[in-house]
Structure 1
Amino acid sequence: MNYRVLYIDMNSFFASVEQQLDPGLRGRPLGITAMENDKGSCVAASYEAKAYGVKTGTSVREARQLCPDIQFRPSRHRLYVRFNLKVAEILDRFAELDKIRSVDEFQLILSGDAAELEGARDLVTRMKRAVAAELGECLRFSAGIGPNHLLAKIAGKLQKPDGFRWLNDENMPGALAHLDLDDLPGISKGMGGRLAAAGVNDIASLVALDPRHARRIWNSVEGERFVRMLQGMDIPLASTKRGGFGNSKVLAPEFRKPEEAYLVSRWLVEKATARLRQEGSTAGRFSVQISVMDQQGWSRTVKTSARQDTLGFLRIHRALWREAWPYIKGKTLMSIGVQLNDIGLLQDRSGDLLSGLKVAERSSSERASAAVDFLNARFGDGTIRFGDNRPHPGFFERG
């Protein structure tokens, strides 16, 4: 059996980095938090903490109840990225590094002896020794191999920590019989409901599904691609085109009143529009999503002329929040999101005879927004703001 893909999944990566740098944390339960206070939640946990039931999303308060001896450290994403690049450099010496899939996951291409099971096993052993020798004994990973990236990724998550597993047409679907459908990457609870309605209730049924039927269930060619990969076909990752700019934010308790959440939402608009301009793009559709505790959420989408100015989108944002206010006033909000869609390039935008704008020319408001970008890039994010907001950084914004 030839294997094409090796998937590396670092074990409790954030916590392991912190334990490697601070020997006093080794062998002890550790939680990595998004915020430096007791109101936050864990974005990662060491295996010692996981043994007590602490996991991603566990609140600090609950983690202390589950594990009184747990230690906490604030997340340092830039540090983890530096370790990510060091791991990538090591792995690339042994095999062709195809993609860095996330801050703690890597995809490599297998060839030669490593395309066979024993050769791949030997390759993974040598990689583990190199990572431990060069970065530290706390840095471990689980590895999976398969005929395509999906099966390799699933295999890499079957045995943790420090594992090595493989999936192919000889052990599928039996090797996954103990998993539920929503344990597979890409199968959300909503998709699980669609599959159940189609009579697909376990992994064996999903693997046996006609790929054309899967396309209808997903209402997308991605369903057909997914099932064909489960069946062992080598289908490359589809190239993606930027479909939108935006962000969703699970709110910390101090930001869950609508008045505070609104200011966080303004901050998200500023971040999204700055990225929009950075890539030379415009957006013609704007959305707001608000999740409310213990009841159905609220969302609206409006169309606009193709634009990239922050003030223009903030005016639309304010109008949408005014519309939402009777519904959310006095409620506890759990998350918010803003999204810019109908993306095009500024250089392709048509002129406007009424405003006098030429093809690809920026409006005065857009030029003002670009000037703010310049000042913030030079003197630091938030030096110039478009009115009051409430920054709510998660671990991706921390250093």
Structure 2
Amino acid sequence: MGPFRTLYIDMNSFFASVEQQLNPAIRGQPVAITAMENEKGCCVAASYEAKAFGVKTGTSVPDARSLCPGIVFLPSRHRLYVRFNLRVAAVLDRYAELERIRSVDEFQIVLSGEATELDGARALVARLKSAVAAEVGVCLRFSAGIGPNHLLAKIAGKLEKPDGCQHLGPDNMPGRIADLALDDLPGISRSMRTRLEAAGVRDMVSLCRLDPRHARAIWRSVEGERFVRSLQGEPIPLVKTRRGGFGNSKVLAPEFRAPAEAYLVSRWLIEKAAARLRREARVAGSFALHLSPMGAPPWARSVRCAATQDTLEFMRMNRALWRRAWPYIRGRKLAAIGVHLGDVDFLTARTGDLLKPVAPGEMTAGERASVAADFINQRFGQGTIQFGINRPHPGFFERG
């Protein structure tokens, strides 16, 4: 058996490619996907034809139009992209062992048999590219990374775009990535790069040769040791993460930036987050509100509460935090807002309360009402039952 265990698939300009696949008239043209359908928005994705002009994720619509006068702007349709994600996943899983769907445009495959050798892995990549093109669409291309673990495979997948195939392994590490900056690697932020440099680790070769125990001290976590061991080619598996909370955030369109309108959007976000909490049979023991006034530092506060999944309880906490925020945000426009239900646990693990009274793992009357509202909304359409007045603000994740 050869040294390679993981194949990483990174779809190229996935959102724009899906749109080009569905509309042959825009194939070969620069295309940008926008979060909002006006000049205030920005690009959340761009085709390679647009990237050639300098348009990238985060480029504002006016700047993108200036960089590329002939660019085609299309509104994001996330549900559509999820459907294409599942179609690609189905094809990959027929030809190989699909281990994980890492994101809407990234997939992880387990290599075995002949594919653990470099030639066999490359032959598998060629088969997968042909199958995706034939069964999903010719515009759907991907770059592939081959490695002994998920981290090296993911890094390899970023080395040649679009439509590339690269590997990282004992024969070319660390020299193959020696020209990368530390924070070019997934999982290393600017602050972590600063911490590494303070510890004398200033280039990729030094990082790859770092003692894993020293890495644990620099990271102040076992994740540092896991990261460096992965860079050194050890078969370190992904750790299943524990969900820390349920949240929703929204970059506000101009008509929702006044505090009174933004407050109603926050109520809509709470309804969505609480419904997700109940779908997983969980309760939350804290609530947080994040507000980003335009031209001012953000404001954020949280409150702890008895563990609950009652939407109206979260609404009451939200109203109290908005009152606390009012002196700071009065007269300002808000660029973004967010809500977060934290300190989650399973409903079945909740202790009882003699004062309510509620037995261990039992729902309160308010929680049962919330579940009933979920059932009606699922049966007759979202918004059939609302928890008071709100302002729906569908955007990137709600379209399609």
Scaled by the length of structure 1, what TM-score is found? Answer: 0.94
Cα distance in 1, alignment partners of residues 156 and 272 from structure 2:
37
What displacement does 1:29 show? 0.6
Letter aligned with residue 347 of structure 1: T
1:289 paired to 2:290: yes
Aligned to 2:381: 380
- 1:55-134 equivalent positions in 2, closer than 5 A: 55-134=56-135
Cα distance in 1, alignment partners of residues 76 and 338 from structure 2:
22
Cα distance in 2, alignment partners of residues 224 and 69 from structure 1:
48
Cα distance change of structure 1 residues 394 and 230 upon mapping to structure 2, 3 Å threshold = farther
What displacement does 1:392 show? 2.5
What displacement does 1:79 show? 2.1
Aligned to 1:156: 157
Cα distance in 2, alignment partners of residues 286 and 15 from structure 1:
36
What displacement does 1:243 show? 1.7
Letter aligned with residue 183 of structure 2: D
- 1:241-280 equivalent positions in 2, closer than 5 A: 241-280=242-281
Cα distance change of structure 1 residues 67 and 254 upon mapping to structure 2, 3 Å threshold = farther
- 1:1-399 equivalent positions in 2, closer than 5 A: 2-399=3-400
SS in 2 for 1:39: coil
What RMSD over aligned residues (CA atoms) do the two structures have, in Å? 1.8
What displacement does 1:366 show? 1.5
**Alignment check: 8 A CA contact 2:249 2:339 kept:** yes
Cα distance in 1, alignment partners of residues 260 and 58 from structure 2:
24
Cα distance in 2, alignment partners of residues 83 and 363 from structure 1:
40
Instruction: Please give the per-residue CA displacement for 1:67-107, whole angstroms capped at 9, x wherever unaligned.
Output: 11111222222222222222122222322111111111111
Cα distance in 2, alignment partners of residues 192 and 293 from structure 1:
29
Letter aligned with residue 174 of structure 2: P
Cα distance change of structure 1 residues 154 and 69 upon mapping to structure 2, 3 Å threshold = same
SS in 2 for 1:302: strand
Cα distance in 2, alignment partners of residues 261 and 176 from structure 1:
45
Structure 1 stretch displaced more, 262-271 or 251-260:
251-260
Cα distance change of structure 1 residues 31 and 210 upon mapping to structure 2, 3 Å threshold = same
What displacement does 1:235 show? 0.7
Cα distance in 1, alignment partners of residues 301 and 90 from structure 2:
45
Cα distance in 1, alignment partners of residues 41 and 262 from structure 2:
16
Cα distance in 2, alignment partners of residues 333 and 233 from structure 1:
47
Cα distance in 1, alignment partners of residues 254 and 171 from structure 2:
49
Cα distance change of structure 1 residues 52 and 326 upon mapping to structure 2, 3 Å threshold = same
Structure 1 stretch displaced more, 255-264 or 223-232:
255-264
Letter aligned with residue 89 of structure 1: A
SS in 2 for 1:312: helix
Cα distance in 2, alignment partners of residues 70 and 169 from structure 1:
43
What displacement does 1:40 show? 2.3
What displacement does 1:310 show? 0.8
SS in 2 for 1:199: coil
What displacement does 1:327 show? 1.9
Instruction: Please give the per-residue CA displacement for 1:95-120, whole angstroms capped at 9, x wherever unaligned.
Output: 21111111111111112221111121
SS in 2 for 1:340: strand
**Alignment check: 8 A CA contact 2:3 2:169 kept:** no
Cα distance in 1, alignment partners of residues 243 and 261 from structure 2:
30
Letter aligned with residue 258 of structure 2: K
Instruction: Please give the per-residue CA displacement for 1:363-384, whole angstroms capped at 9, x wherever unaligned.
Output: 2222221222122111111222
Instruction: Please give the per-residue CA displacement for 1:240-261, whole angstroms capped at 9, x wherever unaligned.
Output: 2222111233333443333333
Question: Structure 2, unaligned stretches of length 5 or more?
Answer: none
Instruction: Please give the per-residue CA displacement for 1:194-245, whole angstroms capped at 9, x wherever unaligned.
Output: 3233333332222222222222232222121111111111111102222211
Cα distance change of structure 1 residues 301 and 200 upon mapping to structure 2, 3 Å threshold = farther
Cα distance in 2, alignment partners of residues 50 and 367 from structure 1:
50
Instruction: Please give the per-residue CA displacement for 1:6-50, whole angstroms capped at 9, x wherever unaligned.
Output: 001111111111111111001101111223333322221111111
Cα distance change of structure 1 residues 378 and 324 upon mapping to structure 2, 3 Å threshold = same
Letter aligned with residue 313 of structure 2: G
Cα distance change of structure 1 residues 208 and 390 upon mapping to structure 2, 3 Å threshold = farther
Cα distance in 2, alignment partners of residues 239 and 33 from structure 1:
32
> What is the total number of aligned residue pairs between the two structures?
399
SS in 2 for 1:397: coil
Letter aligned with residue 250 of structure 1: V
Letter aligned with residue 246 of structure 2: F
Letter aligned with residue 262 of structure 2: A
Cα distance in 2, alignment partners of residues 274 and 29 from structure 1:
39
Cα distance in 2, alignment partners of residues 127 and 223 from structure 1:
34
SS in 2 for 1:100: strand
Structure 1 stretch displaced more, 149-158 or 63-72:
63-72
Cα distance in 2, alignment partners of residues 171 and 292 from structure 1:
48
**Alignment check: 8 A CA contact 2:144 2:157 kept:** yes
Scaled by the length of structure 2, what TM-score is found? Answer: 0.94
What displacement does 1:294 show? 4.3
Cα distance in 2, alignment partners of residues 31 and 62 from structure 1:
12
Cα distance change of structure 1 residues 188 and 330 upon mapping to structure 2, 3 Å threshold = farther
Letter aligned with residue 297 of structure 1: P
Structure 1 stretch displaced more, 142-151 or 49-58:
49-58
Structure 1 stretch displaced more, 6-15 or 62-71:
62-71
SS in 1 for 2:59: coil
